[in-house]
Structure 1
Amino acid sequence: MSAAAPARRSFRAADLLSWWPAWLLFALVLCALFAPWLAPMDPDRQNLLARLKAPGFEARGAVYHLGSDELGRDVLSRLIYGARISLSVAVLSVLLSGVVGVTVGMAAGYLRGWTETVLMRLVDIFLSIPAILLAIITVAVLGPGFVNVILVLALTRWPRYARVAYGQTLAIAERPFVRLSRAMGASPARVIAVHILPNIVGPLLVVATLEFGLMVLFEAGLSFLGLGVQPPTASWGSMLSTGRNYLATAWWIATFPGLALFLLVLSANMIGDRLSDRIGKG
C-alpha cells in the first residue's frame, strides 16, 4: 500500500467532516419527515400532573427526555413536530418567492425598456419597506395560519431574487450565444429559459440557501408574536414565546427550541457560504 493511500483517506474524511452543516440539515429534515415515528409521544397530549417537569422526568411509564411544558406536553415531541413547520414554511416560501423574483428579474433584465423601469421600480418600493414590518402588517390583515405565513414571507422576500436575477441577466443577455439565438428567431421566453436561466442558477442557489435560514427566523418570529401557525400546533417560535414566561423555573421550554433554531439557521448559512465560495472559485 502506498503512503499516499492513508493521506487520501484522511483527506476524504476531512472533506466529509467539513460539510457537517449539510449533515446537520439533513438530520433535521429526516426528523421532520419521520416525526410520527421519532416522537416518543403525541405532541398535543396534555398531562397536568406532569407539567413543568425537568428533563428526564418519568411519569406513567413515559420519559420526558427534554422535560415538559406548562400543560404537561412532551418538549421533545413538540420539538420534532415543530421542525416540520419551520422547514416546510421555509422551503415553500423560498420556492414561491424564488419563482416570482427570478421571473420578474429576468424579464426586466432581458426585455429592458419600460418593462425594466416598471418592474425594477416595483422592486425598489418593496425593498424600501422593512421586511419584518411588511410581514407583520400583512399577516395582521390576512390573518395567521400556515398558508398565510408562506404567502406573506414570499411577498416580502421576492425582491431579493429579482435583484440578483436582474443583474445576472443583464450580464448574460449580451453574450454571443444569446445574440445568435435571438438572430435565429428564438422567442424571448425560449431565450430566457434555455440560454439565460441555466447560466444564472448558481448565484440564485446561493441566495436561496441564505434566504432559507432567514425564512426560518421570520416564521419563528411571527409565531413568537402569535401571528404564525396557531396553537396547539407545535412551532419553535410559539414554544419560545411560551418558554420566556418560565425561564426562571423551567428553562428547558425555551432553551431547546432556541438551540434548534440556532443550529438550523447556522447550518443553512454555512452551506450558503460554502456554495458561494465554490461558485466564486468556479
Structure 2
Amino acid sequence: MSQPIAAKPRAVSKRTIPWNVIPFAAIVATMVLLALAAPLVAPVDPDTQNLLARLKAPGTVSRGITYLLGSDELGRDVLSRLIHGARVSLLVAFSSVILSGIVGSALGMVAAFYRGWIEVLIMRLVDIVLSVPAILFAIITVAVLGPGLVNVVIVLALTRWPRYARVAYGQTLSVANMPYVRLARFMGAGWPRLLGRHILPNIAGSLVVVATLEFGLMVLFEAGLSFLGLGVQPPMASWGAMLSTGRNYVATAWWIATFPGLALFLLVLSINLIGDYVRDRLDPKAR
C-alpha cells in the first residue's frame, strides 16, 4: 500500500527592503550623519566670511581654503553652509513631526473614545484648521510669533496636527469596539490604560506612515518659510535662506542656489519613497 506523499512545507517569505529603496535610504542616512557631525565634517565655519573670495566658482582656492562647492556673496563656503543647513532642516522636521504627532494623535484618540461634545469640539477644530491652506496658516502664525528656530517648529506643529488627529480618530473608532478593549473596560481599566495600552499600539502603524510622509513635507515647509525670511534667521545656515540668496545670483553664481536645491530635492524625494515603502510594509492588506 503506497504511503501518502507528504506535502512540502511552504517557503516562508522574507520581506526585504527592495533594491530600488536602498539608494534613497542611503541618501537619507548620509544626510542625517552629516547633520549630526556637522561641526566635525564641515571644512570651515559656515559663518566665516572672506570678501576676497566672494562668488568664487567650485574648486577655487583662496587664502588656504578650498571651496569645493564655491562661495557665496560674502565669501562663505557653500559646502559648509550646506552641511549645517541639513542639520537645521532635519532638526525642524523631526521636532515638528514628533510634536504634531503627539498632539494630533492624543486629540484624535480622545475624540473617538469619549464621543459626545468632546468629539464634536475636537473634530470641528480639525475641520477649521484644515480649511485654511497649510502654508498660509504657517505664514500667518509665524508672523504673529516671530521668526526663529523654535517658533518654526511650533508653527509647523500647529499647522499639521489635524492630519494625525483624523487618522487617530478613524483608527480608534474601529479599535475601540474590539472585544479585548470592551473586556478591559469591563474589568475596570481606566481611560489612560485603555488608550495607552490597548488602543495606541494597534493604531501606531498608521500613525508611523503619516509621520513618514509628513517628514518630507516639513522639510519643504521649513525651506519655504526660510526662503520668505520667516524661518531660521541669518547668519544661521538654512537651505531655504541659501535658495533665497542664490536667486539673485543665478546668472553669475549658479552654485549658490543649485546645490541647496539639489540637496532639498534628493532629501524630500528619498523620504517620500521610503514613506511609500513603509506604508506598503505596514498595510495589513499587503500581507
TM-score of the two chains, using structure 1 as the length reference: 0.94
Partner of 1:158: 161
**Structure 1 residue 132 and structure 2 residue 132: aligned?**
no
Q: Secondary structure at the match of 2:66?
A: strand
Pairwise CA distance, 1:117: 0.8
- Give the 3-state SS of the residue equivalent to 1:58 in structure 2: strand
User: How far has the Cα of 1:267 moved from its partner?
Assistant: 1.0
The C-alpha deviation readout for 1:54-75, integer Å capped at 9, x for no partner, is 0000112211000000000000
Q: Which runs of 5+ in 2 are unaligned?
A: 1-13
* Partner Cα distance (2:17, 2:32) in 1: 23
Question: Offset at 1:20?
Answer: 2.1
Alignment partners' CA distance in 1, 2:148 and 2:59: 33
Q: Is the 2:227–2:240 contact (alpha carbons within 8 Å) kept by the matching residues of 1?
A: yes
**Which residue does the alignment assign to 2:144?**
141
1:18 Cα deviation (Å)? 3.2
- Cα distance, 1:184 vs structure 2: 0.6
**2:39: which partner in 1?**
36
CA, structure 1 residues 12+110, in 2 after alignment: closer, same or farther (shift >3 Å)?
closer
**Which structure 2 residues correspond to residues 44-193 of structure 1 after superposition, within 5 A?**
44-193=47-196
Note the C-alpha offset of 1:194: 0.4
For residues 191 and 71 of structure 1, the distance between their equivalents in structure 2, rounded to whole angstroms, comes to 58
Residue 7 of structure 2 aligns with which residue? none
Residue type of the partner of 2:170?
G
Question: Does the residue aligned with 2:55 lie in a helix, a strand or coil?
Answer: coil
SS at match of 1:63: strand
AA paired with 2:208?
L
1:114, distance to aligned residue in structure 2 (A) = 1.2
Q: Distance in 2 between matches of 1:40 and 1:19?
A: 28
Q: What one-letter code is carried by the residue in structure 1 that aligns with 2:80?
A: S
- Post-superposition CA distance 1:71-111 (Å, at most 9, x none): 00000000000001000000000000000000000001111
1:221 equivalent in structure 2: 224
TM-aligned CA distance change 1:189 to 1:225, over 3 Å: same
Aligned amino acid, residue 71 of structure 2? S
Segment drifting more, 83-92 vs 16-25:
16-25
2:93 touches 2:215 (CA, 8 Å); kept in 1?
A: yes
CA distance in 1, matches of 2:15, 2:68: 35
Counting matched residue pairs gives: 272
Normalised by the length of structure 2, the TM-score is 0.92
State the identity as a percent.
Answer: 70
**Contiguous gaps of at least 5 residues in structure 1:** 1-10
Shift of the alpha carbon at 1:19? 2.3
Question: Distance in 2 between the 1:115 and 1:23 partners?
Answer: 44
Matched residues in 1 for 2:18 and 2:223: separation?
32
Q: Output one character per residue of 1:110-160: Cα deviation in whole Å (capped at 9) or x when no partner.
A: 111111111101111111011100100111111100000000000000000
Matches within 5 A, 1:258-277: 258-277=261-280
CA displacement 1:165-213 (0-9 Å, x = unmatched):
0000001001111111111111111101000000011110010011100
Determine helix, strand or coil for the equivalent of 1:29: helix
* Letter of the 2:231 counterpart: G
Find the structure with the greater CA-based Rg.
2
Change (3 A) 1:172 1:35: same
Matching residue within 238, 243, 260 for 1:257 = 260
